[in-house]
Structures are given as structure tokens and as C-alpha cells.
Amino acid sequence: MTTNLSRRQALLLAAAAAAAPGLALAAEPALPAVWDLTELYPTDAAWEAERQAVEADLPKIAAFKGRLGESAATLRQASEAISALTKRVLRLFVYATLKGDEDLRIAANQERRLMAQQLLSKATEAASWVSPEVLEVGATKIRGFVASDPALAKFRFNFENTLRQAPHTLDDAGEALLASTGPALAGPQQIRNQLVLSDIPWPEVQVDGKTVRLDSQGYTAARATRDRTERKAVFDAFFGAFKVYESSLGATLATKVQGDIFTARARKYPSSLAAAVDGPNIPEAVYRTLIAEANRGLPILHRYFEVRRRLLGLPDMAYWDIYPPVTKLEARFDLPTTRKISLEAMKPLGPEYGEAFARATAAGWVHVYPQKGKAAGAYVFGAAYDVHPYMLLNHDGDYEGLSTYAHEWGHAMHTLLAQKAQPFELSNYPTFTAEVASTVNEQLLVAHMLKGAKDKDERLFYLDRVCETMRSTFYRQTMFAEFELAIHETAEKGQALSGRRLSGIYLDLLKRYHGPKVTIEPAYGLEWALPAHFFRDFYVYQYATSVTAASAFAERILTGKAAERDAYLGVLRAGGSDYPVDLLKKAGVDMTSPEPYRTMLGKFSRTLDEMEKLLG
């Protein structure tokens, strides 16, 4: 995943985003396992000094208020001043976020994160007058200024984006008021994170002869145990612990949904979905087409569950049977091995990508291993334009860890390529293309592993990884998207959302997506409380659209044709210089059509054909 910010704040917050290839490796020093944050600030005290300096400089933006229409020179000076301040704010925000995620139990770091969020909100508020004033100056005059001053070229796209969103931009007072709501609207996610990552007393169970604490990381590892009885015990204990907090967690998500509705209505959008997709200018039909095509392809998913049942040798299939590997894979992937394999797998992306990737993966940009108190999951944060992206992993040496490594480095390389090719103002790219970069890397990795598979069982394992990408990244994320749409539409009709109701909606979707032959206990309907993504409005669908686009690009890249590879790399280098759907379409993948989804699901079906053939 990536950590990025809204494009609506493009003049102020244009750079929040995130975002291996193949050289033979000689012996080298041990790879760094903890990131070096001194490249951002040498000490916490230096961070605090800069925070105070930035806060003191924020009022200076107001000196340009009411003057954007004076001349091209004034417009340029104002835009450059805001961009320079934006860089500083984002750098502060990156440091505070990374420092906070190292150990969520350290109060000082969480307080610093809160100060950074407050500063971000203040910075947004300080520049909230810019979009209304650009609209007041008018398209003709703004475009004339841009045409007359070459230094304004890097701001052109953001000006055009502001002009496009004129119907949804408020006056000065309205924009300032909305900007000031940032900390309050972020509250539900903060409460949810504190509950799930810190405060819930997670149970312990016996798994493979060891005592495992079932926090989110422990649950993710333990649910893959080969012992079916233990798998069910893991599910029951984990969701049983969640169940105690169903009402509180439901209140946090319901409040978050109300915040989305408030923002959409304030900006005169007909729905929360329309508001969410308008920022990156994605047609609402893309979202609805995705859901329709996933539902159309559910019989293929149900067929996969039957193949898994056979591979696992089970008499029936249940939800707790989704995660164990279908064959034994004894291989372990430590950090050097993970890096070497990733470098080899990305060779089809060419020597320039490979050399840059080799340098980056040897640097101290990553916090690699899990530890108590550390944030769960994995992400890349690339908003510090003048430094480099940082990456959080929880690498535990299995294939999933290897795949996550390749995935997250896809984000990081996207950031590096975009920042090298684009100025700060155009380097920030939306999630819609960010997840394409990461998922292409995943698909190149599994293709590489399939080539090297030594026997039938290993081949079946990697074929199942292809299927698991379809299940977890296409179908599951689309199920999440359908859930998110359902709860927003429920609230928009004036109906209440309680924890119990959220669980009921989610359970119905679980049963439909997994089919009548997969047993699902009612308590598992509370799974909606596990993905933090629901606290970022209409975010998860982009994983599903991205794996669809990535499938198309990966197939072309693997043909070895330089033109196909370069078209894909062109998307990465473009950063945020164009709208994401348009970028993909120019590179040959039209996400407004059902065709990419149907082509990808055809590949899924053919993969199942091969697995069934190997099974005899």
C-alpha cells in the first residue's frame, strides 16, 4: 500500500504519495534492517525546530491573497511559495508518521504525529483560499498567464484540475471551514487504530506447539497453520475478541461514514462515491463496472475454492481454510535472498530500472522486521520529495514476505521514477496508478518463481499464488468495495449504522462471494473491523482495478518487447502529470471498459485448468 494525500489540495499538498530487476549480486555488507530517519531530520529537536519555523511561515501565504489575478509573475511567486512550504510540511509529516509507527506505545512519538497532522491541517487551511481565487480569476486569465510564463508550466495541470472542479469548490470561508475539519474527521481512524493496534487485549492460542498472541500480525501468521482444528480455533478466538468491541468499532466506522457524507454534501456532490472518485477524475462507472464484472466472475472464484479443497484433502471447505498453502514449501527467504530473487524477477523491466532498484534496496530506507508495538502491515511513504521514499515491512521470511517486498518496492520505484522525471508539483500520483506499479512487481515475481519451480508441488504452490492474487487482490478487494458502497448508501438513505448492522451487511457479502460450499460462521461478519482501509473513503477498489491493469501490463512486459515495457514505465514516470485513467488508456489499457476484467478472469480460469490437469 501507499500513504498519500488528496489531490484536491494539489497546490498545497501536491506531493504526498508513495510509490527487482536484475543484476547478479556479489558479496556485500549486511543489508540495513532499520530505516535511517536522520536523512529527514538529525534529531527530534531538529524536527521540532523546523515545525515551529514552518508554523511561523504559514501566515506569509496570506500576502498573496487577492493578488493572483495581478500578473503571471504574481501567480508564479504565490505558487512557488506555496510549493516550497508544502515540501517542508510534508517532510515533517513523513518523519512524524515513521517515528510514530516504529512503536505505537511511545506517547511522545504519537504526540509528534498528532502535531504533524495538526500542522498539515493548518497548512491546508492557510492555502484554502487559493482554489476559490483561481476560479474567481477565471480560466481565460489563468491560462493566459500560464502560456506567457514558462515557469508556470509545472503548475498548469493543477490549475486545470482546480478549474475542472469549480462546481464543487466553495468560497474562501467555506474552504477554510472544511480545511479546519481535518483533525476531527481523522478522529475515527485514530480511535480505531488505537483500539486494534494497542488497547484490545488479544487472546493467546496454541498453534503448531507454540503460544501465539492473536493481535493482527499474530492472527495473519497463525491462520495459515496446516492443522485445521487449530485454524478454526484461531478464527474463533480472534473474532471472539473483536466481538467484545463490535459496538465501539461500529461507532467509529459509522462516524467516519457520516464524515464522508458531510464532506460530499458540503461540496455539492450527489453521493460520497461521486465525491471520492472526482478527485483523481475517475468515472464513477469504473467503480460500478468493477463490482459488476467481479460478480459476473464469481463462478470462477467458487471453482477455485473447490480446487483448494482438493489440494488440501478436505471433505468440505470453510472460511478458515482459505489461507494455508496448498502444498509444502520448505524454502525460507531471508532479507538478502528476498532482495536477490526480487532483482532477478524484475529483469524484464530493463537495465535502468534494475540498476536503480539495486541501489535503492541496499540503502537504509526500510524498517524490515516485526517487533512489539510496531505498526502492522506494510507501506511506502514517498512524500518527502527531496529525500527518498521510506518503507515499513513486517518481514517474516515466508513467500508472502517475499511477495510483499516486491510489491512495496514497486511503490518505491514508482516514486523514484516519478520524482526523477517530474517536478515536485507533478510527482504526486493517485492510488489508482500507484497500485499498478506494486502489483506488476508481484506478477513478475510469481512468473519468475514458476520458471524455477522444481517439481509438481512447487509449481502448484506458485500457481496457487496466481489464484490467491485473484482471490485476495481482485475479488476480496472488490467485496470490500461493495461493502463500502453499501454502507455509504445505507447511511445516505438516513438509515443507522451500528456495529451489528455493519456485521450483517458484511456477512451477506462474505457468503455471496465465497459461495454455498464454503462454511462461514456468523461471528466472522465482524471481519470488516480488521482492514484499516475502510477509514480511507473508497480506497480499496483501486487494488482490484490495479491488479486488472497490472495483469495486462505484466503479460506485455513478459513478451520481452521494449515498446511494451517502455509504455508501462512511461506511466510510472508520468507521476501525477495526467489523470490516471487517461494515463493507463494512453498506455493501452482502458479501464472504462469491461474488457480488461474479462481478460484477466480468463487468465484465472486457464490457471485453474492447469492446476486441475496437474491434479489429474
Where residue 315 falls among pLDDT bands split at 50, 70, 90? very high
DSSP 3-state of 329: coil
Distance CA 315, CA 107 (A): 50
Predicted confidence at residue 217, as pLDDT, reads: 84
Which of 1-10, 115-124, 140-149 has the lowest average pLDDT? Answer: 1-10
> What is the mean pLDDT of the segment spanning 223-235?
95
Same domain, yes or no, for 368 and 306? no
The arithmetic mean of pLDDT across residues 136-158, rounded, is: 97
Q: Indicate the residue among 359, 376, 397 that finishes a domain.
A: 397
Which of the residues 125, 408, 484, 527 is marked catalytic? 408
The answer to whether residues 322 and 341 belong to one domain is no
Which of 366, 397, 428 represents a domain boundary (last residue)? 397
CB atoms within 10 A of CB 136: 14
For the chain, count helices (H), then strands (E): 27, 7
pLDDT digit string, tens, across residues 426-464: 999 988 999 999 999 999 999 999 999 999 889 988 998
User: Is the per-residue pLDDT at 6 higher than 60?
Assistant: no
In a domain, 55, yes or no: yes
What pLDDT is attached to residue 28?
52
Q: Which residue has the cell 458502497?
A: 485
- The yes-or-no verdict on residue 423 having pLDDT over 60 is yes
Residues 22 and 112 in one domain: yes
Does residue 586 form part of some domain?
no
The one-letter code for the residue type at 113 is: R
Assess whether 30 and 112 both reside in one domain. Answer: yes
C-alpha distances (whole Å) from 563 to each of 413, 559, 585 are: 19, 10, 15
Give me the residue label for grid cell 482554489: 131
How sure is the predictor about 2, in pLDDT bands with cuts at 50, 70 and 90? low
Residue 187 located in a structural domain? no
Establish if 139 belongs to a structural domain: no
pLDDT of residue 147 exceeding 80: yes
The yes-or-no verdict on residue 8 having pLDDT over 70 is no
Q: Provide CB contacts within 8 A for 358, sequence distance 6+.
A: 20, 21, 23, 25, 343
List the alpha helices (DSSP H) in 63-129: 72-102, 107-126
In this structure, the answer to whether residues 363 and 261 fall within a common structural domain is: no
- Does position 331 have pLDDT exceeding 70, yes or no? yes
584 pLDDT more than 60: yes
Residues 206 and 413: their CA atoms lie apart, in Å, by: 40
- Residues 265, 269: Cα–Cα separation, whole Å: 6
Contact present, 365 and 340 (Cβ < 8 Å): no
In the chain, what percentage of residues exceed pLDDT 90?
82
The amino acid at 128: S
| CATH number of the CATH domain containing 339 | 1.20.140
CATH number (domain holding residue 252) = 1.10.1370.20
pLDDT for residue 3:
55
Distances (CA, A) of 330 to 284, 312, 382, 397: 45, 17, 35, 11
Does some domain include residue 86?
yes
Q: Give yes or no: residues 106 and 215 share one domain.
A: no
Q: How many domains does the chain have?
A: 2
Whether the predicted pLDDT of 22 surpasses 60: no
Over range 471-491, report the average pLDDT. Answer: 97
Decide if pLDDT at 19 tops 70: no
The answer as to whether 430 is a domain residue is no
Q: Rounded mean pLDDT of 477-504?
A: 97
Co-location of 76 and 24 in the same domain: yes
Model confidence over 350-400: pLDDT tens digits? Answer: 999 999 999 999 999 999 999 999 998 899 999 999 999 999 999 999 998
* One domain, residues 111 and 43: yes
Counting other chains too, the contacts that 164-168 makes at CB distance below 8 Å and 24 or more residues apart are 164/281, 165/8, 165/131, 165/278, 166/135, 167/268, 168/267, 168/268, 168/269, 168/275, 168/278
Between residues 179 and 575, the one the model is more confident about: 575
Band the pLDDT of 531: cuts 50, 70, 90: confident
Please state, rounded to an integer, the average pLDDT across all residues of the chain.
Answer: 92
Same domain, 27 and 79: yes
pLDDT of 325? 80
User: What whole-number distance in Å separates Cα of residue 418 and Cα of residue 523?
Assistant: 44
* Strand bridging mode 390-392 / 366-367: parallel
Range of the domain at 32: 16-127+334-397
- Residue predicted with more confidence, 328 or 486: 486
Residue 561 pLDDT: 86
Q: Is 408 a catalytic residue?
A: yes
User: Is 111 domain-assigned?
Assistant: yes
- Establish if 423 belongs to a structural domain: no
User: Residue range 318-344: average pLDDT?
Assistant: 91
Please, are residues 519 and 316 in contact by the beta-carbon 8 Å criterion?
A: yes
pLDDT value, residue 573: 98
Same domain, 290 and 359: no
**Domain shared by 34 and 81, yes or no:** yes
Question: Are both 224 and 294 inside the same structural domain?
Answer: yes
Last residue of a domain, one of 535, 562, 593: 535
Strands 317-318 and 366-367: unpaired
